[in-house]
Amino acid sequence: MREFLLGLRLLFGAGRGNRVRFFLMAGGGSLGVCCLALVLTIPQILDAHDGRAAAREPKSASARSAQSTLVLQRTDPYGSRPFTRVFIAKGTKGADAAPPGLKRLPAPGEVFLSPRAHDLLRDRPAIASLLPGDEKGLIGATGLAHPDELFAYIGTPRDKIADEGRALKGWGYSYAPFPAVEPSTLTYIRFALGSLVLLPLGIFLSVCARLSAASRNRRLASLRLLGLSTKGTQRVNAAETVVAALLGALLGLGEYWILNQVMTRTGLPSLRWYPADGALSVTTVAVCLIGAPLLAWFVGRASARDAAANPLAVRRTAAPKRPTKWGALLLVTGLGIVAGYCATGFTGQPANSVGPNTILIPAGILLTGLGLVLTLPLLSFALARRLARTTQSLTLNLAMRRNEVEPGSTMRVVTGLVLLVFSASLAQGVLIQLEQVSRPSAPVQDYAIPLATLTTDQQRRLAEVRGVRAHAVTMSSWSDPDGPADQPYASAVVATCDQFTKLVQRSEGCVDGKVMRLSDPNSGTGQGARPGDTLVFRVPEGGQGKSLSITLPKDEISYNGYDPSGVGGAEVLIPPSALAASARPEAAEYILTSSSDRDQVRRVLDGIAAVTPTAEINPVGVNIEGLQQIAVLETLLGVGMIMGLVIGTAAFVVSATDRAVERRAQVTAITLIGARARTMRTVQCVQVVLPLSIGLALALVTGKLAEASYLITGGSEIYWDFAGLPVLALAAAGVAALSVLGTLPLVGRRIDPELIRRD
């Protein structure tokens, strides 16, 4: 306790500069703890989403009686979002079993809506046909997965759902039917966030704990020479760092609380949550309040070891020891694991991410990143010693001698930037993997809408939706139920040649204005439909039942359809001129096509919903829930990348500021003996840029190897991401330019000899 109190007295009584450094340590630590709390809370937010979705899932049984409450759940796409409607027909049994978020079950004709569905009904009254009944209230937060969810409970007469409804037994399962993120995918996201955020975060907190290390070591050496014990000296230093870390942790938790309140109101793209979902848990608070001071304690004791063991060498600035080689051992170990997995990419049986690989892959990447950081001082020391002995340049000699004396001081400035480039390479790998998993199998996306639900004006407006390339109508021929079993049957596409060409992969031989036979070698043929057979299509017009008879011609269009496709397997192409504008073929669908880019698909779906909000949309081959999951994954990955960028930049700013204050005495001394300001600026620039260049080169190499091992074991089609090299090279160049700017404040125009006298 005596050493702890002494550390506090030194902290607040050692001048304004010492207090500024203390608050800089606390401020930097608070930013790191805020990011740590956010990373730890993301799984909690997703679990809260899934927990509420699971709790409202109806438990049903096929066996039912006349008194059973019936339930029927429908989830349809409304634009690019799912709209879930639960139809309930109350019975005498189980009628009191209300779902979460409601106090009672809706009676026939009553509708309870989520707040977002309520707003949608107000803004778009046309969706009232989806919600038969009168709105009686809102669903509470306990019954919604997230604030933006489109959800409704609809009371209905029993005969309306008698055929499809199931007997309601209760509510709630132990699992969500459609989790916010699949458990297997969540593992990759946790790994990505750990690599992008937690590794740089640990380095950043260590940097904050070692601010002004040289001046503090000289002060601790003085205490040691005055009779303080070795352990006592270490405790004095650790007391200061622990207090700063504890204050930073408290500030960081407060910053996260404010951030959670703001983000729950503004939200992130495709990810919203309630304030309680992101509330700080006991585990998160314990990790932040214990982990940050504990890390500062070990860093503080380690940084004071030299001052406590050999105080005279510290006070007289003795020749430095060579940096430890343990970091190189970690780097070699990590690279060995990573390179081993990369080597499997050249074989016919690449490694996968199952079994022990689930532990070895993340361990190899994390060891590589950590070893990269710990190896940089050793490389900087070796390079500085060699260049200082051989160079004839005064500028280079001054720069390298300083790096030789204090290799760790410069590396603290550049470590965050080096990790930023390393993490950027990993982020590229995660993006590629996500793109491979979510990329559609075809370059186009088709949308099928029942033609009977559309007016002629709506058809025209749908064809003009931004992003829609072509449109057509598909219909099936009519078969007489009393006729022979071998009646010819075929499906037809009503479109021009230009429209049909845009709907398929390849088309040859089409002639506008003619009925033509379609032949796709990759699809089946109609039921006995051959050239010369007559096909009958029911095409009611103006309320009158009419039919269209088509004789299957010999003229043939050879085409290859996409898989999946809204016109796949069609056997007849009918020109639009063969049908009246008001004709509504039976069992027909209106087909639209667009690019399969995910953002484009979302825009087209939203455009369709704006034109016809009540129509049933079938995005061919697309799972709307899966589309939502992909959007959430992209948001989480974007958050991780932004936090990594913030942490890396903050580490540089804090370290550069600390270095500017720490080096003032040395810069002033060299300036007083005749060195020009231009020379000193060049020296400071070389001191940072040269070791940074080595670190960036290593980060590019090790980062690409780590990315390749991640892609190979993840089953990606791309193993070697050469396309991402130019982006990383530009990022490295930008990092180097940023480091040059950070060295400029070290040399000012005014010379303050008081700095030397005080030293």
Residues 480 and 378 in one domain: no
Q: What is the CA radius of gyration of the chain?
A: 34
Bigger pLDDT: 665 vs 81: 81
Residues 375 and 397 in one domain: yes
pLDDT at 116: 92
Prior bond to 564 cis, omega within 30?
yes
| Spatial distance between the Cα atoms of 431 and 638, rounded to a whole number of angstroms | 10
User: Which of 664, 671, 666 has its CA nearest to residue 17?
Assistant: 664
The strand order across the sheet containing 470-476 reads: 506-508, 556-560, 516-519, 572-574, 491-494, 470-476, 589-595, 444-450, 618-619
User: Which of 216, 227, 222, 219 has its CA nearest to residue 303?
Assistant: 216
Burial of 59-86, coded b for 16+ CB within 10 Å and e otherwise, reads ebeeebeeebbbbbeeebbbbbbbbbbb
Q: Is residue 165 part of a domain?
A: yes
Residues 422 and 545 in one domain: no
Q: Provide the pLDDT confidence category of residue 665 given band limits of 50, 70 and 90.
A: low
Residue 263 near residue 326, CB atoms below 8 Å: no
Residues 519 and 563 in one domain: yes
Mean pLDDT, residues 739-752 = 62
Range among 164-178, 458-472, 515-529 with highest mean pLDDT value:
458-472
| Spatial distance between the Cα atoms of 639 and 646, rounded to a whole number of angstroms | 10
| Spatial distance between the Cα atoms of 76 and 65, rounded to a whole number of angstroms | 29
pLDDT at 44: 87
Q: Is residue 11 part of a domain?
A: no
In this predicted model, what pLDDT tens digit does every residue of 19-37 receive, in sequence order? 667 777 778 788 888 888 8
Mean pLDDT, residues 704-729 = 77
Residue 421 near residue 700, CB atoms below 8 Å: yes
pLDDT at 524: 54
For residue 419 the two structure tokens come to: 């990790």
pLDDT at 327: 73
HEC-encoded secondary structure of 615-647? CCCEECCCCHHHHHHHHHHHHHHHHHHHHHHHH
Residues 519 and 648 in one domain: no
Mean pLDDT, residues 369-388 = 81
User: Which of 102, 106, 94, 108 has its CA nearest to residue 56?
Assistant: 102
Mean pLDDT of the chain: 78
User: Which of 503, 507, 504 has its CA nearest to residue 561?
Assistant: 504
pLDDT at 115: 92
Q: Which of 621, 644, 670 is the last residue of a domain?
A: 621
Residues 417 and 453 in one domain: no
**74 - beta bridge partners?**
85
Mean pLDDT, residues 134-141 = 91
Domain count, the chain: 3
Identity of residue 155? G
| Residues constituting the chain | 759
Q: Which of 600, 621, 642 is the last residue of a domain?
A: 621
Give the DSSP letter of residue 583: B
In this predicted model, what pLDDT tens digit does every residue of 444-468 receive, in sequence order? 888 888 888 888 888 889 999 988 9
Q: How far is CA 535 from CA 238, 484, 557, 558, in A?
A: 89, 14, 18, 20
Q: Residue 255: is its pLDDT beyond 80?
A: yes
pLDDT at 113: 94
pLDDT at 526: 45
Bigger pLDDT: 350 vs 502: 502
pLDDT at 138: 93
Residues 533 and 664 in one domain: no
Label residue 714 exposed, middle or buried (CB < 10 Å: 0-12, 13-18, 19+).
buried
Q: Is residue 312 part of a domain?
A: no
Residues 629 and 552 in one domain: no
Q: Is residue 729 part of a domain?
A: yes
Residues 82 and 146 in one domain: yes
Bigger pLDDT: 167 vs 226: 167
**594 - beta bridge partners?**
445
Mean pLDDT, residues 105-134 = 88
Burial of 95-128, coded b for 16+ CB within 10 Å and e otherwise, reads bebebbbbeebbeeebbbbbbbbbebbeeeeebe
Residues 652 and 590 in one domain: no
Q: Residue 473: is its pLDDT beyond 60?
A: yes
In this predicted model, what pLDDT tens digit does every residue of 293-317 receive, in sequence order? 888 777 767 766 666 666 665 555 5
Helix (H, G, I), strand (E, B) or coil at 324: coil
DSSP structure string for 361-417: HHHHHHHHHHHHHHHHHHHHHHHHHHHHHH---HHHHHHHHHHHH-HHHHHHHHHHH
Helix (H, G, I), strand (E, B) or coil at 83: strand
Q: Any idea which of 190-204, 536-550, 615-629, 738-752 has the lowest mean pLDDT? A: 738-752
**613 - beta bridge partners?**
none
Q: Residue 748: is its pLDDT beyond 60?
A: no
Q: Is residue 591 part of a domain?
A: yes
Burial of 574-603, coded b for 16+ CB within 10 Å and e otherwise, reads bbbebbeeebbbeebbbbbbbbbebeebbb
| Spatial distance between the Cα atoms of 353 and 340, rounded to a whole number of angstroms | 14
- Tokens 């940089």, residue? 376
Q: Is residue 249 part of a domain?
A: no
Mean pLDDT, residues 503-510 = 86
Q: Is residue 22 part of a domain?
A: no
Q: Residue 733: is its pLDDT beyond 70?
A: yes
pLDDT at 152: 92
Q: Residue 530: is its pLDDT beyond 50?
A: yes
User: Which of 631, 641, 511, 574 has its CA nearest to residue 181?
Assistant: 631
Bigger pLDDT: 656 vs 36: 36
In this predicted model, what pLDDT tens digit does every residue of 397-427 receive, in sequence order? 777 777 777 766 666 677 777 877 887 787 7
Q: What percent of the chain has pLDDT over 90?
A: 5
pLDDT at 210: 65
| Spatial distance between the Cα atoms of 659 and 287, rounded to a whole number of angstroms | 30
Mean pLDDT, residues 133-154 = 90
pLDDT at 374: 81
Bigger pLDDT: 500 vs 656: 500
pLDDT at 153: 93
- The vertex-463 CA angle with 460 and 467, nearest 5°, equals 150
Q: Which of 570, 603, 621 is the last residue of a domain?
A: 621
Q: What is the pTM of this model?
A: 0.74
Range of the domain at 106: 58-171
Phi, psi of 637 (to 5 degrees): -65, -40
Q: Provide the pLDDT confidence category of residue 257 given band limits of 50, 70 and 90.
A: very high
Q: What percent of the chain has pLDDT over 70?
A: 77
Q: Provide the pLDDT confidence category of residue 527 given band limits of 50, 70 and 90.
A: very low
Residues 534 and 637 in one domain: no
Q: How many of the other CB atoms lie within 10 Å of CB of 734?
A: 13
Q: Is residue 430 part of a domain?
A: yes
Residues 595 and 638 in one domain: no
